[in-house]
């Protein structure tokens, strides 16, 4: 990912975080080549792989975890999917969930 693109994604992340009142949360990038992401509730850090396909969608996915299902083994229950859908509509209108997310939602939307 180019430096300019990284800065643009960081700006988006912190705009959403500030708007949601989660100012204490930080973004950290995994090393180049990584595509995964994770929400570290104990550290209030979201890690994002800079080689992911749709980084802003991935950021919204992890941000949706901040307020949902964090004290449970299954972090993708119905409450999560509702929050995630709402955040996508608000911050990335027209963005669809990925095929992988559709599969996990179908398994866990209970």
Q: Is the pLDDT of residue 66 over 80?
A: yes
SS3 49: coil
Mean pLDDT across 46-66? 92
Q: What is the CATH T-level fold of the domain 3-108, as seen in this structure?
A: Zincin-like (3.30.2010)
Strand-by-strand arrangement of the 45-48 sheet: 26-29, 45-48, 37-40
Q: What is residue 79's predicted lDDT score, i.e. its pLDDT?
A: 86
Residue 1 class from Cβ within 10 Å (0-12 exposed, 13-18 middle, 19+ buried)? middle
Helix, strand and coil content of the chain, in percent to the nearest 5, comes to: 50, 10, 40
CA separation for the pair 44, 82 (Å, rounded): 22
Whether the predicted pLDDT of 75 surpasses 80:
no
pLDDT at 74: 56
Question: Is the per-residue pLDDT at 95 higher than 60?
Answer: yes
For residue 72, pLDDT over 80 is answered with no
- Residue spans per domain, the chain: 3-108
For the question of whether the overall pTM of this predicted structure is more than 0.85, the answer is yes
Structure tokens at 68: 């949902």
């Amino acid at each position: 990912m180019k430096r300019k693109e990284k800065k643009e994604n960081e700006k988006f992340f912190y705009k959403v975080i500030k708007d949601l009142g989660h100012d204490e949360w930080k973004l950290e990038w995994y090393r180049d080549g990584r595509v995964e992401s994770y929400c570290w509730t104990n550290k209030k850090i979201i890690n994002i792989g800079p080689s992911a396909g749709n980084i802003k969608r991935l950021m919204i996915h992890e941000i949706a975890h901040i307020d949902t299902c964090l004290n449970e083994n299954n972090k993708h229950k119905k409450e999560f999917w509702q929050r995630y859908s709402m955040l996508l509509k608000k911050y990335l209108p027209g963005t669809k969930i990925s095929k992988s997310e559709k599969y996990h939602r179908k398994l866990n939307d209970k």
